[in-house]
Chain A
Amino acid sequence: MSTQAASRPRSPSTGASRGVHGVSDNQVLLAPAERAIQMIGGDLTEKALRRHLEGLPGVDAVGLEARAASLATRSIKTTSKQWALDAIIRMIDLTTLEGADTPGKVESLCAKALTPDPADLTTPRVAAVCVYGDMVPHAVEALGEDSGINVAAVATAFPSGRSSRTIKLADTRDAVAAGASEIDMVIDRGAFLAGHYGLVFDEIVAVKEACMRPDGSYAHLKVILETGELNTYDNVRRASWLAILAGADFIKTSTGKVSPAATLPVTLLMLQVVRDWHTLTGERIGVKPAGGIRASKDAIRYLVTVAETVGEEWLQPDLFRFGASSLLNDVLMQRQKMNTGRYSGPDYVTVD
């Protein structure tokens, strides 16, 4: 990994040559992201960033997982459940990220996003559809104007992130230009694991810049950590913090292409970071678990975890999302059950 990281093209933002091990690494100035400067200080070097991240409290995996397990035992009452099911739908990024995706498939997905349950038009719409960059024009067209549904595009050589920065930035700009209002970027896990926090940081800052529209506004930036590859909880905490410092609007667990994807303990940990950031700065960062959440029951556990960790104000699409595809149908079936009193079946919800 480190060889790859070392041989990759240099950061356009600094243009400087970085040694893999050299002291010179530490002296390199990083992109002057506003949050990082406020948090760490004006002299934003790789060394300062490293110190900051390594100074974060460690995570004890056993304790974290025990806490997540205890949150999962909460049982909520019927009225809360009704509200929760609708809230889950509103917070879903309905996703298709396949090599086999076609305009037809994306249109079908968008139709589902617009009318999740044709038998019950009171069903709320999802937050966004999430597609590859080249599918953005099809999604934008299929959703039409004023649908209230955003188009999110994965970018930066999703899912591996293994390409040049030039390509990653072009990927991002294309998607924004095509009408994506949310960008789900992946971080360079190789660089992170090799300890090149500055590279990861600068790249996020650069992608954020690439999210700027001609009118000066920005597409929302979700930063995918790919926690399954970061492996340790300490890494997840550092990467979460790094992403926020670099300007992330959301931190997202996974691409869905690596196992394990989202887990409750990882999401709890990211929520703790977001809570701590809010305590320090008053600023609210979003969290998006993605991949592997298929049942309403599981999704409700996430809501409980959000509410007990950062508070209920995070239970809204601006601050919490589920990256999912099959979850929606399970929620719809649960919703039907609550409305009719009968258990529903897969033939009573639509495939997309």
Chain B
Amino acid sequence: MTHLAVPKTYKLYIGGKFPRSESGRVYEVTTAKGEFLANAAKASRKDARDAVSAARAAVSGWSGATGYNRGQVLYRVAELLEGRRAQFVDELTKVDGLTAAAADKQVDAAIDAWVWYAGWADKYAQVAGNGNPVAGPFFNISVPEPTGVVAVVAPKEQGLFGLVSVIAPVLVSGNTVVVVASETSPLSAISLSEVLATSDVPGGVVNVLTGSAAELAPWLADHSDVNAVDLSGAGDLDWSDLQVKAAQTLKRVREPETGEVERSVERVTFFTETKTVWHTKALI
């Protein structure tokens, strides 16, 4: 007897749960050749709003965890991704039309990115921080801290690696994320959400929206409870309008990336705030 396949329903990932879009909308995800693959949820502005609430609620726990702990949690994502490699290779070959070798390479890169960034969690503050030799009887240090909730527009290309390369660095310092996945390659994003849901990453730390970046990004850029916007994957959008919207609450804005997103500690520190603490110093 042949087994009749059970197709997966690809939903959103918000607050550690997998809801459908509140709008009830879906859109067709096709293969590179245009054949139907799945109906992905088409997130609405209200889903974006819910995602921001979930992300905000998760800030204190995630940013309050020790760097050592966050590092282990992020490393665990790499472990789980490795275990489900086949699924990602399968999706990437179907959706993006990659060869198995190319898909395999992309999964490798995604796993390695998690590992690399995981290692930064308890180190970036040493690189970005300072003891400051002020001219007076004061102990003075500068430390980087997560900025809070970061809305990310993921790159269109490389459904898995592109996504990982923008969300992992944001998570390192303790930010939480609302990410708009690649519109054309959303399946890896939802599958990655399943990895995250079974990993130790607390619910709400990463929230994944699928659908139209052009529709969702303006709501996120305009949302007062978002602290920073990463437009790495927004090169095709009207991103100067997004920047204008972000200006309303002086959000930190990372401008669109041209070309592949490279790993760098600067991606980590970009989404941090430097806090400088003075304390008086005296023996008597």
Contact = CB atoms under 8 A, between A and B. Distances in A.
Query: Are A and B direct contacts in the complex by CB distance below 8 Å?
Result: yes
A169 B107 CA distance: 90
Nearest to A60: B280
Interface in A137-156: none
Interface in A26-76: 60-63
A62 B138 contact: yes
B138 A233 contact: no
Contacts of B1: none
Interface string B241-284: 00000000000000000000000000000000000000011111
Interface residues of A, number: 7
A60 B138 CA distance: 12
Main secondary structure of the interface of A (DSSP, over half): helix
B137 interface: yes
B41 to A, nearest CB: 58
Interface in A220-272: 231-233
A143 to B, nearest CB: 39
A231 B136 CA distance: 21
A60 B139 CA distance: 14
A40 to B, nearest CB: 27
A233 B283 CA distance: 10
A232 B281 contact: no
Contacts of B136: 62
Nearest to A233: B284
B205 to A, nearest CB: 40
B281 A62 contact: yes
A61 B138 CA distance: 11
Main secondary structure of the interface of B (DSSP, over half): loop
B137 A231 contact: no
A62 B137 CA distance: 7
For the side of the interface on B, what is the size category? under 10
A61 B136 CA distance: 13
In this complex, the member of A62, A63, A232, A233 whose beta carbon has the largest number of chain B beta carbons within 10 angstroms is A62
A63 B284 contact: no
B192 to A, nearest CB: 52
Interface in A62-99: 62-63
A232 B138 contact: no
Given A62-B137, A62-B138, A232 B280 contact: no
A62 B284 contact: no
Contacts of B280: 60-63
A85 to B, nearest CB: 32
A62 B280 CA distance: 6
A231 B282 contact: no
A133 B123 CA distance: 68
A62 B139 CA distance: 12
A60 B284 CA distance: 9
A70 to B, nearest CB: 14
In this complex, the member of A60, A61, A231, A233 whose beta carbon has the largest number of chain B beta carbons within 10 angstroms is A61
B262 to A, nearest CB: 46
Interface in B133-178: 136-138
Nearest to A64: B282
A232 B137 CA distance: 16
Contacts of B284: 61, 231-233
Contacts of B282: 60-62
In this complex, the member of B137, B280, B283 whose beta carbon has the largest number of chain A beta carbons within 10 angstroms is B280
A316 to B, nearest CB: 31
B68 to A, nearest CB: 34
In this complex, the member of B280, B283, B284 whose beta carbon has the largest number of chain A beta carbons within 10 angstroms is B284
A338 to B, nearest CB: 37
B266 to A, nearest CB: 36
Contacts of B138: 62
A63 B279 CA distance: 11
Contacts of A60: 280, 282
A199 B284 CA distance: 24
A60 B280 CA distance: 8
18 contacts: A60-B280, A60-B282, A61-B137, A61-B280, A61-B282, A61-B283, A61-B284, A62-B136, A62-B137, A62-B138, A62-B280, A62-B281, A62-B282, A63-B280, A231-B284, A232-B283, A232-B284, A233-B284
Interface of A: 60-63, 231-233
* 3 closest cross-chain pairs (CB), A and B: A61-B282, A62-B280, A232-B284
Given A60-B282, A62-B281, 16 more contacts: A60-B280, A61-B137, A61-B280, A61-B282, A61-B283, A61-B284, A62-B136, A62-B137, A62-B138, A62-B280, A62-B282, A63-B280, A231-B284, A232-B283, A232-B284, A233-B284
